[in-house]
């Protein structure tokens, strides 16, 4: 091994980096071929080579090596881009990507991140789907802190530094929806609206809302493609952006109010907050609710309803707490409407999430959780639950595991029953909501259904899941 290293040391930095990439490709490729299915581990030496020659982390103080120039670094990035584009085997791509950018918990990680940020930013600019797909997986496996850093690089590059270049980022949604899904999760983790700096820039917000209204299923992509058995690494991003987006929607009215308050105290009346933002948050909120409805269809099909919470109760508790704090910070007299709007949205989301099985908690829990919040009619109604009444028509009330959820009732009138009987054609579930792979463990990177092939949803349809006419009760 040290032979290789010595040989590499004699070369110029760029060709050495290329050589390491080549070495990686050969060794990992053959390892993968010999034991398909198993993820080949990296030996310490290889990791060292990667760190030393690609990320330019000096291993040996004695050897003063020439570092790559900026131009050479750009050339290296180009080489990586072409490598991933040309490597036809998805598994090899993933393994190489992970070998290169998988965080090792050492001092080389900073370099890794710097290079990764540049590579992904470049991939966005020139639409290199294979890199974006690898990055999506990376975002799934890495600690959220790193994910947030990558997100910030992209937001800086595309929203802040060169604002007109955002269309590049916008367009990748059709090329790599999985990456976009993860990116949304990452930016919602980045911007928690706790301060002005952590409020999503309007351009970013507009882009995210655009993506989601175009096709709300985007938000469930990672979740649906994730094997049931796989356990998430500790500290990684949430599996859907739903919680983060919900935070945005609920806290946005108060953040706006705070922004206004601050600008007022600063002495200049500054209302140049993008006027469309309120509308965007309203659209976003509706989309989130609609995605809950879609989620229910998926959970029902997978027989997971009531068994798998998508929204974590702890996260909800955190949100409620944050909301309570924000309310306290504001003068309730001046911001009564904003507070009520925030509470309305919270109540709506909690109700719909509970009813669709996205949030597993009881009304009792809810009452405890929200006891500190100011009064809101809808929240009150949600906490106490609907007045139990005999249903007006024949469908019998079926108590289920979670009585506050209204599961699909296959009543004689139910379209579910009549349709499947009437239409002999198989009741094709939406591809995005298709069943999980039977052996999820075997294919952790199961190929995505081509996202672009989906019929785009009418924005703001009540029943986004029902587009291809799979008339299923959604309640």
Partner 1 sequence: MSAQGDCDFLVKRARELVTEDPWAAKAWLITARTLYPTDFSIQYEMYIIERNAERTSSAGRLLYDIFINFPDQPVVWREITVITAALRNDSQDKHALFLKGVFETLPGQVQCQMLLKATEQCFNTLEKAEMLLLLLKRFPESVVQHGVSLGESLLEAENVEDLDTPVNCFRKLFVCDVLPLIINNMEMRLPASLLHKYMHKAAEFYIGYVTRGPGADTQIQPSPEVTGLKSPGMGRGQRYVIDGLSEKSSVVTEPWERLLEIVGVVGARCEWQGEKGSRTYTELLQRVKELCRYLPGLEGETLSRCCSQIVTCSTLVLFRSAHHYISTVQPSLFQGHNALGVTPWVLLEDLSSVFNDVEMDRSSGKHAHKKRKLADGREKPMSSDDEDALGKGRGRHILVNKVEMPGWAETLEHFRTARESWDLLHSHDALESEFNKICMAWKTESWLWFRIFLTDMIIYQGHYRKALSSLVQLSALQPQQNQNSLSATSNLETHRALIQQASCHYALGEHRLACEKVLEVVSGLVPQNQEPVKPSEEQGRVRNKPRKGNDLRLIPCTSKDVLPFCLQLMLACFKLRAFSDSGRDDLALGHVIVLLQHDWPQGEALFLKAVDRICEQGSFQYENFFNYVTNIDMLEEFAYLRTTEGGRVQLELLPNQGMLIKNPSPALGVELNTLLLPGAQKADRHHTVTRGITKGVKEDFRLAMERQVSRCGENLLNVLHRFCINEKIILIQSLP
**Span of 52-60, 309-317, 319-327, 413-421 interacting with partner 1 by CB under 8 A:** 413-421
Shortest Å, Cβ 222 to partner 1: 23
Query: Which candidate, 242, 236, 127, places its Cα nearest to that of 173?
Result: 127
Strand, helix or coil for residue 225 = helix
Shortest Å, Cβ 280 to partner 1: 10
Residue 271 in contact with partner 1, rule: CB under 8 A = no
Structure tokens at 422: 């009437």
Cβ partners under 8 Å of residue 211, min gap 6: 170, 173, 180, 184, 218
CA distances from 443 to 45, 175, 227, 342 (A): 28, 22, 8, 41
Query: What span, in angstroms and rounded, lies between the C-alpha atoms of 386 and 271?
Result: 40
- State the binding string over 48-87 for partner 1 (x if CB under 8 A, else -): ----------------------------------------
Of 229, 368, 377, 452, the one binding partner 1 by CB under 8 A: 377
Shortest Å, Cβ 136 to partner 1: 29
Residue 395 in contact with partner 1, rule: CB under 8 A = yes
Structure tokens at 168: 């590049």
User: Residue 446 class from Cβ within 10 Å (0-12 exposed, 13-18 middle, 19+ buried)?
Assistant: middle
Of 94, 290, 326, 376, the one binding partner 1 by CB under 8 A: 290
Residue 345 in contact with partner 1, rule: CB under 8 A = yes
Residue 217 in contact with partner 1, rule: CB under 8 A = no
Shortest Å, Cβ 419 to partner 1: 6
CA distances from 284 to 6, 132, 171, 474 (A): 56, 24, 19, 20
Of 163, 233, 332, 391, the one binding partner 1 by CB under 8 A: 391
Shortest Å, Cβ 323 to partner 1: 17
User: Residue 65 class from Cβ within 10 Å (0-12 exposed, 13-18 middle, 19+ buried)?
Assistant: middle
Length of the chain: 475
Residue 475 in contact with partner 1, rule: CB under 8 A = yes
Residue 305 in contact with partner 1, rule: CB under 8 A = no
**Span of 82-90, 125-133, 437-445, 456-464 interacting with partner 1 by CB under 8 A:** 456-464
CA distances from 239 to 88, 119, 127, 174 (A): 28, 24, 24, 20
Which contiguous run of DSSP H or E holds residue 435? none
Residue 386 in contact with partner 1, rule: CB under 8 A = yes
Residues lying near partner 1 in the complex (CB under 8 A) are found at 279, 282-283, 285-286, 289-290, 293, 344-345, 347-348, 351-352, 354-356, 377-378, 381-382, 384-387, 389, 391-393, 395, 406, 413-415, 418-419, 422-423, 458, 460-463, 466-467, 469, 471, 475
């Amino acid at each position: 091994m040290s032979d290789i290293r010595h040989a590499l040391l004699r070369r110029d930095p760029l060709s050495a980096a290329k050589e390491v990439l080549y070495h990686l490709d050969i060794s990992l490729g053959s390892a993968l071929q010999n034991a398909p299915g198993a993820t080949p581990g990296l030996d310490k030496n290889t990791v060292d080579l990667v760190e030393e020659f690609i990320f330019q982390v000096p291993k040996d103080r004695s050897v003063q090596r020439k570092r790559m120039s900026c131009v050479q670094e750009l050339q290296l990035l180009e080489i990586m881009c072409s490598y991933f584009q040309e490597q036809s085997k998805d598994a090899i791509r993933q393994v190489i990507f992970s070998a290169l950018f998988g965080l090792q918990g050492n001092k080389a990680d900073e370099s890794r991140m710097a290079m990764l940020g540049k590579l992904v930013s470049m991939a966005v600019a020139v639409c290199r789907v294979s890199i974006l797909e690898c990055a999506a997986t990376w975002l799934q496996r890495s600690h959220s802190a790193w994910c947030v850093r990558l997100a910030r690089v992209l937001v800086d590059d595309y929203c802040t530094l060169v604002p007109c270049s955002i269309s590049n980022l916008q367009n990748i949604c059709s090329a790599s929806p999985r990456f976009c899904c993860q990116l949304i999760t990452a930016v919602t983790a980045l911007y928690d609206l706790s301060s002005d700096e952590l409020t999503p820039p309007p351009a970013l917000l507009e882009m995210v809302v655009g993506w989601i209204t175009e096709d709300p299923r985007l938000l469930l992509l990672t979740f649906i493609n994730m094997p049931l058995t796989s356990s998430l690494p500790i500290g990684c991003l949430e599996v859907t952006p739903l919680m983060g987006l919900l935070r945005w929607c609920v806290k946005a009215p108060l953040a706006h109010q705070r922004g206004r308050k601050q600008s007022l105290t600063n002495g200049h009346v500054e209302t140049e907050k993008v006027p469309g933002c309120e509308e965007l948050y309203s659209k976003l909120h509706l989309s989130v609710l609609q995605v809950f409805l879609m989620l229910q269809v998926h959970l029902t099909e997978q027989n997971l309803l009531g068994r798998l919470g998508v929204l974590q109760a702890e996260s909800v508790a955190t949100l409620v707490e944050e909301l309570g704090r924000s309310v306290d910070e504001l003068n309730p007299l001046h911001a009564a409407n904003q507070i009520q709007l925030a509470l309305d949205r919270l109540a709506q989301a909690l109700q719909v999430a509970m009813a669709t099985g996205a949030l597993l908690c009881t009304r009792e829990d809810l009452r405890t959780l929200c006891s500190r919040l100011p009064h809101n009619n809808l929240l009150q109604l949600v906490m106490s639950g609907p007045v139990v009444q005999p249903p007006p028509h024949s469908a019998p009330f079926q108590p289920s595991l979670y009585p506050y959820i209204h599961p699909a009732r296959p009543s004689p009138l139910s379209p579910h029953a009549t349709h499947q009987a009437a239409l002999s054609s198989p009741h094709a579930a939406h591809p995005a909501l298709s069943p999980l792979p039977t052996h999820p463990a075997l294919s952790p990177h199961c190929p995505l259904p081509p996202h672009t092939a989906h019929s785009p949803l009418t924005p703001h349809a009540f029943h986004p899941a029902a587009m291809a006419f799979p008339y299923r009760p959604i309640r």
